[in-house]
Amino acid sequence: MKITSARTESFSAIRRRALTEAAGPAVARAVVAADKAGFLGLSEVDLTPQVQTALKTLMGEIDDLRNEVGRLKYKLNEAQGLADLDVLAPVLNRRAFLREIRRVAAFAQRYGSPASLVFFDLDGFKAVNDRFGHAAGDAALRAVAERLQGHVRETDVVGRLGGDEFAVLLVQADQRTAQAKAEALAAAVRDAPVQVGEWSVPLRISFGVREIEPGADPEAALAQADAAMLLKKRVRKEA
């Protein structure tokens, strides 16, 4: 015979509810204290006023410790989040980005879901620093990061790999889809120069695209996308 309404409520909970209904919350609170005392190895006979006071103090301290643990966990998560960010631009740093590639590659291996990597490199960026100064160069890097971040989905990942190199991890995107998206992202970077004071800093950018193989090594995946970018640059120069 199939039982469709098995009782899951504990006896102590049933007793507290019944006493609350019958005698009011004051009696119910006493029962709760007794239950806690029993948990600590005390019987109801041992529950003198002094013991009740000590028990209340102990439970208060336990609540305080729980709150402190929660606060510390929040601080830890916050610190870990900050550790993942690039020191200059509002995107992931190289270490965190490699971790995301590993996660997406594992997902692709398990579920057969496509994902692609786009490697970006600013062309002639040294000339930007030399002509306009390092403050202008930093502003240009931040602008690139913001434009890339502003033109991808929430599920995609943007990272700065170091210097003037960036990468975008496109989930649910095969090689063809990623190629089209990379063109759009490069256009978003090139569309407008960066204004730094009275200076107008133009941006030129190259990219390479590689679909991520299931279970791929993150460094190898980045190297393949970088090689695709360098090949594209070489072909453009020779044309």
How many CA within 13 A on the CB side of residue 2? Answer: 1
Q: Among the options 86, 121, 156, 164, which is catalytic?
A: 164
Burial grade of 184 (CB within 10 A; 0-12, 13-18, 19 or more): exposed
Q: Are 168 and 79 in contact, with CB atoms under 8 Å apart?
A: no
Integer-rounded Cα Rg, in Å, for the chain is 30
Q: Phi first, then psi: what are they for 49, rounded to 5°?
A: -55, -40
**DSSP type of residue 76:** H
Which tokens belong to 66?
């729980």
In order of 11, 32, 58, 113, the CA distances from 46 in angstroms are 21, 15, 16, 63
| 156 catalytic residue (yes or no) | no
The residues annotated as belonging to the active site are 164
